[in-house]
A = this chain, B = another copy of it.
């Protein structure tokens, strides 16, 4: 069996040996941030954008990053060489560290790990159902490790026959626990929530590729918008663009991806999977 390696505080070790002391603030207080990007045929995708967000999350949560951008990139390169896993997801996780009093932020631990990525082609074609769920992520711009609500919400979604939830508060749809949420209105305008959601890198890339083809509105999304929409989809690093076929209790869209969603899937796939051959 091939050993998978991780890099823990700059040191490459086998993943099964990588451990943190039980005093880490992630374990005692759920305190940490991370970022996640994929590699396609051995090339990290949108790494600079992910590193921007990683450093921003750390700053917003007062976690010092004791490694420069160059150092982190070189660790990522080292890890990719060691693991030889060309198509993968790479996670950079920064915890609150070994806190002397079990509450204040200490010297963070940095873990870079690599995982096989499985693209869910079926969902990308067929689509998923979402259950509206009353919640709004605090520190919405931070990619925090805090997924307590997301994990509990997924359970409710499954019980209701949905694949996941979309968070709603005060009649506004914000995001899914691990994905951004988009609507396509009847006149073909692309809608997605603005600053008060996770600034998804896939979301950003969709907005980039879409702007030459569609009208775009980045603003609060209401239940009224949902009612009047003709297509919906979610976006994330692992889910790419996955159509939403139904928001339970509110709106049924057709099966599979609508016209605009399909076109965006093509544009995004060109950007992501043909980067290497596009020159």
Contacts and interface: CB of A to CB of B under 8 A. Distances in A.
A155 interface: yes
A29 B103 contact: no
Given A30-B145, A145-B29, A151 B22 contact: no
Given A19-B21, A138-B149, A139-B148, A30 B30 contact: yes
Interface-centre pick from A29, A34, A96 (highest chain B CB count, 10 A) = A29
Nearest to A104: B151
B30 A62 contact: no
A147 B20 contact: no
Contact of A31 (B104, B105, B147): B147
A16 B22 CA distance: 9
List the number of copies, as a whole number.
Answer: 2
23 contacts: A16-B21, A18-B22, A19-B19, A20-B27, A22-B93, A26-B26, A27-B27, A27-B32, A27-B93, A28-B34, A29-B148, A29-B150, A30-B31, A31-B151, A61-B152, A62-B155, A96-B151, A102-B115, A103-B151, A103-B154, A139-B148, A139-B152, A146-B148
A105 B154 CA distance: 11
Interface of A: 6, 8, 15-16, 18-22, 24, 26-32, 34, 61-62, 93, 95-96, 102-105, 111, 113, 115, 135, 138-139, 144-152, 154-155
A151 B93 contact: no
Given A20-B27, A29-B151, A138-B149, 6 more contacts: A8-B22, A27-B145, A30-B145, A30-B148, A103-B154, A104-B151
A265 to B, nearest CB: 24
Contacts of A152: 61-62, 139
Nearest to A144: B148
Secondary structure at the A interface, as helix, strand, loop or mixed, is mixed
A115 B102 CA distance: 10
Contacts of A15: 22
Pairs of residues from A and B, 9 with the lowest C-beta to C-beta distance, nearest first = A30-B30, A19-B19, A29-B147, A30-B146, A18-B22, A30-B145, A26-B27, A146-B148, A22-B111
A176 to B, nearest CB: 13
Contacts of A103: 147, 151, 154
Contacts of A16: 21
